[in-house]
Structure formats: C-alpha cells, structure tokens
Amino acid sequence: MERKLTVGSLIQGKYSIEVGDLIIEPEKNPIKTFIEIKQNNQSFKLTPAPNELLLDSALKQNIPLDYKCRKGTCGRCAVEILEGHNLLHPPNEIELKKCRDANFRLACQAKIK
C-alpha cells in the first residue's frame, strides 16, 4: 500500500517516519526556552522576554543581579551565559571591549532576541 504524506502528517514531532529499516522518531529535546546565567558563583534561569535587555528581564523575574551604571562602562553586571546563547543578539561594541570571553556578556547591554 502506497502512503502519501499530507500537510497534517508533516507536523514536526507528531509522527515517526519509516524509511526502509530506519525509523526516525520525533525529537525528544524541545528548544530551550530559558537562559541560564551565572554571576558571583550563583546560577539563575530566566525566561527570555523578546527585545528586552538581559538585566531588565532578570530584575523583573526577581533575579538579584549585581549592577551599577547600566551603560556598560563599569562591568559590574557581567554574567556568564551557561545556556541559551542563541536567545541573545550578538554582542555590541561595548560588550566586545569589556568581555574578552564569548561566554560572558554585560547584562545591561545584552539584548534578548
């Protein structure tokens, strides 16, 4: 019996696809919807809010990040991004000058996608 694919059968993660002896199962790992950061030996997970600064989003979620100037000059708000790099826009010039390591970002400058 020949089986035809329809738009409904192509919904991602809904059905298994058999190709000869190979069976492709739906993806078990959903896309990460959080950003995990570390500052002063404390780790935090925050839910990203589109087009918000990382610092503003963290403070709204009662995450006690250390910060001061909000301009990127003092570097006090630097955080290590443990997970969720892909949820942030690339670093701006201020961040590139302050943070030499790609895993570190300035929370007052890092913008969420």
Mean pLDDT of all residues in 4-32: 58
- Given a cut of 80, is residue 24 above it in pLDDT? no
30 lies in some domain:
no
12 lies in some domain:
no
pLDDT tens track for 58-92: 999 999 999 999 999 999 999 999 999 999 999 99
Q: What's the domain range around 41?
A: 35-106
- CATH number of domain containing 58: 3.10.20.30
Dihedral-angle region of residue 107 (phi above 0 means left; psi in -120 to 50 means alpha; beta otherwise): alpha
Query: What pairs with residue 100 in β-bridges?
Result: none
- Given a cut of 80, is residue 15 above it in pLDDT? no
Domain count, the chain: 1
Note the pTM of the prediction, 2 decimals: 0.72
